[in-house]
Structure formats: C-alpha cells, structure tokens
Amino acid sequence: MNDRALISRGEARTAGVPRYFTGRSCKNGHVSERYVDKALCVECNNAASQRYRDAHPGIASANVRRWMDRHPAAAKVLYAVAGRRWRYGLTPERFAAMLDAQQHQCALCRTPFSPDFKNTRPHVDHCHSTNVIRGLLCHRCNAGIGHFRDDPELLVRAAAYLKEPRDE
Ligand SMILES: [Zn+2]
Ligand SMILES: [Zn+2]
C-alpha cells in the first residue's frame, strides 16, 4: 500500500483521474486513496456503504438497485411506505411480485392502485405480532382492519351486524 505512487489531489484532478494518494492516513488510520471530488477516504467510504447495506437488507444487490431504477414510483413507495417493513423481508422484488399477484389492486376492496401511486398507493399490511406480511392494501382497508384490531372475529360480527334486518 505504501509503495503506491503519490499523486496530489490537484494533479489527479488535472489528469482527470477520480482518486489521488498522498500516503498520509485518514482520521481513521487508513493509508488509502481518496476521491478527488470530496477528499473522502476510499476505505472509510467502503465501510460507510457496508454499514448502510447492513442496515438496509435488500438494497444490497445490484439487481435490486436496477429494479428500483426502472420503477422509481414503486421504489419511492418502498422507502416511504415499506420503511421498517423492509427488514421483515419485503425486498423490491417481493413487493413487485405482490403487486403483480394482486393485479395492482387493493387485496381487499380491489381498488386499483394508481400507476404513480399518487392517489391510491399500496400500504404494506403485516401482522403486528409475527411481522408476517399479509398483503398490499389501500389506505382505507388498511386503516379499517386496524380499527377492528386486526381481529377476524370482530370483522365477522361487524358484517353480521350490518346485515341484520331492521325495520325502517
Ligand atoms: Zn479512512
Ligand atoms: Zn382497499
């Protein structure tokens, strides 16, 4: 590492190469190349990228990044809506597969999700005790089953209650 040819930041910039090397260590003790644009230590940068990937499983693979590039609206929802759920195993691939399987509609009321997810966007419905992802729901259905405490018995009783014959 130390016998690497020295090249200053200015020389590297003039030469049009992205990295330079001064032979001096960074604040974390790496005697490493640095990026010309922000003088960032390459090893520090790699370590930071690794920490980010560890904290965001699913983002790691190049496949996933390509998918997100091709589906910017869906990628945005993944970040905004899935958020923590990402950790429960909701990768972009799985999200896309669920969307396709549900024909881009709410799994309950069948309202179509809008293509850009602006008006009707999918909410990731998951079981709060097991973290198992159940499906993608529109906002109303997601909130609805939440108001019924995710309790199937209660929802059945609600349906029966609505159907009870009543005098006008
Ligand atoms: Zn460093
Ligand atoms: Zn719905």
Instruction: Name the CA radius of gyration of the chain, rounded.
Output: 25
Residues 156 and 113 both lie in one domain: yes
Average pLDDT over residues 131-160: 93
pTM for this entry = 0.54
Residue 61's pLDDT is: 57
How remote is the CA of residue 27 from the centroid of ligand 1, in Å? 6
Residues 99 and 79 both lie in one domain: yes
Residue 119's pLDDT is: 77
Average pLDDT over residues 31-42: 91
Of the candidates 24, 1, 27, 22, the one whose C-alpha atom is nearest the C-alpha of residue 10 is: 22
Check: CB of residue 100 under 8 Å from CB of residue 92: no
Residue 26 lies in a domain: yes
How remote is the CA of residue 43 from the centroid of ligand 1, in Å? 5
Residue 60's pLDDT is: 45
Bridge partners (DSSP) listed for residue 136: 124
Ligand nearest to the CA of 28: 1
Residue 152's pLDDT is: 95
Residue 2 lies in a domain: no
- Phi then psi for residue 18, to 5 deg, are -75, -20
Tell me the average pLDDT of the chain.
Answer: 82
The parent domain of residue 101 ranges over 57-160
Beta strands 34-35 and 133-137, pairing class = unpaired
Domains of the chain: total: 2
How remote is the CA of residue 120 from the centroid of ligand 2, in Å? 9
Half-sphere exposure of 105 (CA within 13 A, CB side): 8
pLDDT in tens, 74-96: 666 666 655 555 555 677 777 77
Residue 167 lies in a domain: no
How remote is the CA of residue 38 from the centroid of ligand 1, in Å? 13
Ligand nearest to the CA of 121: 2
How remote is the CA of residue 45 from the centroid of ligand 1, in Å? 7
